[in-house]
Amino acid sequence: MCPFDELVHGTARRFDGDGYRVAVVRIADDVYAIGDRCSHADVSLSEGLVDEGDCTVECIKHGSTFDLRTGKPQSLPATRPVPVFEVRVRDGLVVMEVA
Ligand code: FES
């Protein structure tokens, strides 16, 4: 996807691929990848605020927060999870598994 060093700690970055749209978040040395589209409406989660302590990202539209590890919403109005993807750092590059 990109070199790990290009990801800024505590922020989300959007990646568009063939049939998917992903928000990749770096928190310290960890990387998370979740579906970029909020499950409440078509809003990009990568524009949201990352909470490093709670490991969540907040949707900018109505404020639902999503757990970066599970994709589950932690607050309303979103009630459905967003997908999560396997992501790892290999040889300094962020690599995502897409099923
Ligand atoms: S669009 Fe994301 S919470 Fe409403």
Instruction: Round to whole Å and give the CA distance between 73 and 37.
Output: 13
Position 99 confidence tier, pLDDT thresholds 50, 70, 90: low
Query: What is the per-residue pLDDT across 1-36, written as a single tens digit (0 to 9) for each?
Result: 899 999 999 999 999 988 889 999 999 999 999 999
Residue 38 has pLDDT above 90, yes or no: yes
Question: What's at 12, amino acid-wise?
Answer: A
- Residue 94 confidence (pLDDT): 95
Q: Ligand 1: distance of its center to the CA of 71 in Å?
A: 14
Name the residue with the closest Cα to ligand 1, atom 1: 41
Query: What is the per-residue pLDDT across 58-84, written as a single tens digit (0 to 9) for each?
Result: 999 999 999 999 999 999 999 999 999
The number of angstroms, rounded, from the C-alpha of 53 to the middle of its chain's C-alpha atoms is: 15
Index of the ligand 1 atom closest to the CA of residue 43: 1
Would you call 46 helix, strand, or coil by DSSP? helix
- Residue 37 confidence (pLDDT): 97
- pLDDT mean over 41-46: 97
Alpha-carbon separation of residue 74 from 4, 7, 15, 86 (angstroms): 27, 25, 23, 21
| Inter-residue contact 84 to 21 (CB < 8 Å) | no
Residue 88 has pLDDT above 90, yes or no: yes
pTM equals: 0.94
| Inter-residue contact 51 to 65 (CB < 8 Å) | yes
